[in-house]
Amino acid sequence: MTAAAAVVAAAALDRGFAEPPARIHPVALFGRLVSPVDREWSRPTRVGELARRPSSPNSGWPMATLAVLLQTRLEKPGHYLLDGGPEAPDAATAARGVRLVSRAGLLAFAVAGVVAWF
C-alpha cells in the first residue's frame, strides 16, 4: 500500500467513525434536553438548512442544533453564519450550551453502553 493510499484509507475511516456521532448528537439534544412545551426546537427544516452552511460535514449539525435551541447567532466571519437567533451568545447562553452538550454527551455515552451491552 502506498503512502497516498494509506492516507486516503485513514481519512475514509475517520469520516466513517465520525459521521454517526455527528448525526446522533442533535437527536440527543432534541429528544432529551428540550422542554416539550417549547416549540421553537420543532423546526427540523431550519436546523437542516443551517447545518449545510459550514464546510465541515461533521460540525454543522451539532452547531446548527445549538443555534436553534439557544436561539442565538453562531458565526465564524468569512466562513459561515448560523442565525438561530438575532444576537451572538452571551456568557449565560454559552454556559447553557455547555450544559446541553454535556448532557447530550452523557446520554450518548449511556446509549452506547446499552447498545454495546446487548
Characterise 74 by phi-psi region: left (phi > 0), alpha (psi -120 to 50), beta (else). beta
pTM: 0.58
The one-letter amino acid at 24 = I
pLDDT tens for each residue of the chain, 118 residues long: 687 777 777 777 676 666 666 666 666 555 545 555 455 555 567 777 887 888 876 678 888 888 888 889 988 888 888 888 889 999 999 999 998 888 888 888 888 888 888 8
Residue 101 pairs in a beta bridge with none
* Burial (CB count <10 Å: 0-12, 13-18, 19+), residue 74: buried
Q: Domain residues of the chain, as ranges? A: 3-117
Rounded-to-10 torsion of CA 18, 41, 48, 20: 20
Rounded Cα distance, 88 and 110, in Å = 32
What is the C-alpha radius of gyration for the chain, rounded to an integer number of angstroms?
16
Q: What is residue 83's predicted lDDT score, i.e. its pLDDT?
A: 84
Rounded Cα distance, 115 and 118, in Å = 5
